[in-house]
Amino acid sequence: MTRKYFGTDGVRGTVGNDPMSAEFALRLASAAAQVLVPEGGTVLIGKDTRMSGYMFESALEAGFVAAGADVLLLGPLPTPGIANLTQVFKANLGVVISASHNVYSDNGIKFFDSAGAKLSDEVEKEIEKLLDKPAITLESGKLGQAKRIDTARSLYQEFCISTFPDDLNLEGVKVVFDGANGAGYKVGPRTLNDLSAEVISIGCSPNGRNINDGCGSMEPGLLQKTVVAVEAAAGIALDGDGDRVVMVDELGQVVDGDQLLYVLATARKAQGLLNGPVVGTIMSNLGLEHALQRQNIEFRRAAVGDRYVLESLREWGGTLGGETSGHMICLDQTTTGDGMVSALQILAIMRRTGKRLSELTAGMTRYPQKMVNVRTSKKMDPGQFPAIGAAVCEAEAELAQTGRVVLRASGTEPVIRVMVEGENENQVIALAERLAVVVAEAAT
């Protein structure tokens, strides 16, 4: 059975279009409760700052309570905060209302199990089996209750601070924080302030519609300019739900997830704290793989999606993984991708070594990489089209072992991602654009 509604990271789409409706959210809560909270239990619900979050919060609350589950409403909180508090409150299930880095008109719903981990494909399939049935309503004596938790933000802030070394602080360190007008808009600056940093905040004035709009990890241009203008040591940019992070060094250069992973891996090895292989994805830059090889650090690739990086880390006994986009997983600190915790690990390395961020990333050279997103009328598998396969083989032959070609269907939208990387930037760009034309023709 393939998944009809769940993608790479939960259920996601444009609000008002199938499946992102209040009625669907009600059925989704009912189905999830029957699979994961069958005898009554506790469910946490948190969200980002999108206007539609109020609607989905109410619909999910109704569905879970009607199925006999007690609900704790956390309000706006980063996705990793909900994963953490699911464990703190010993809840059966954590629910996140967010479309992550997408525009405000989209929204999504994703789950964490009682251990703060994302659900497996198998569990999501079990939930989907019940999604086409009406939501259940138990008799009055078996209904759940709901209440709001006002301490959620402070509890998560305390957790973030606990991951920073006890013998260090950020006194005298100027940091620019970009909250993407999203879920981390309060937690981020307050956490940095508690560690004695000098904090300059941008992207921390959400209005329900400006999440990820010209700010955050997807659009760090303003952060780059601000870091240089105020002569900050670094800049931190989360995405809308706070599970991704990119940073900006003191020179105003963007430091992506691959570079952050390199800094974390080499520092942990130097301290004797690196266990197992470092795990990236099929989209991780080839420069990361080669840089880690030079440091005698094993590197392996997983499928795209932080859930698959996490599964691979557990399978291979690793503790450190991530994606180019900034989904960083430090299993020695937390259970899921956490933008704020990852940024704090980098700041701690800067503080302990006395090195600037540009110095820490100097050992890795990013190979030129070109990504072209080809929008299709519906989801499709590029591997099923002979013309696309032939074009890929031709491109790989031209690269002649100096680069890679990756075609991947997005797990959250009808898009085929065409990625080419190699040593020659002009060649990389030309090949990516040529392949994109072939994919677009096949998709029509």
Residues recognised as catalytic = 100
- Judge whether 279 and 318 are in contact, CB under 8 Å: yes
DSSP 118: B
Whether the bond between 19 and the residue before it is cis, its omega within 30 degrees of 0, is: yes
Write out the two tokens for 304.
Answer: 């795209």
Helix, strand, coil percentages for the chain (3-state, nearest 5)? 40, 20, 40
Neighbours of 355 (CB within 10 A): 15
- The C-alpha atoms of residue 403 and residue 407 are separated, in whole angstroms, by 14
Pairing assessment for the beta strands 403-409 and 415-422 based on DSSP bridges? antiparallel
Single-letter residue type at 299: F
The C-alpha angle with vertex 370 and arms to 101 and 414, in degrees rounded to 5, equals: 50
Q: How many C-beta atoms surround the C-beta of residue 249 within 10 A? A: 23
Bridge-based pairing of strands 146-148 and 328-330 is unpaired
C-alpha 388/C-alpha 416 separation (Å) is: 12
> Which tokens go with 294?
């030079």
Is-contact 98 80, C-beta < 8 A? no
8 Å CB contact between 274 and 320: yes
Q: How many residues does the chain have?
A: 444
Q: 198: Cβ–Cβ under 8 A, 6 or more apart, which residues? A: 172, 173, 174, 175
Contact between 289 and 299 (Cβ < 8 Å): yes
Q: What is the CA radius of gyration of the chain?
A: 22
3-state DSSP assignment of residue 281: strand
CA distance 129 to 355: 53
Contact 3, 125 (CB under 8 A): yes
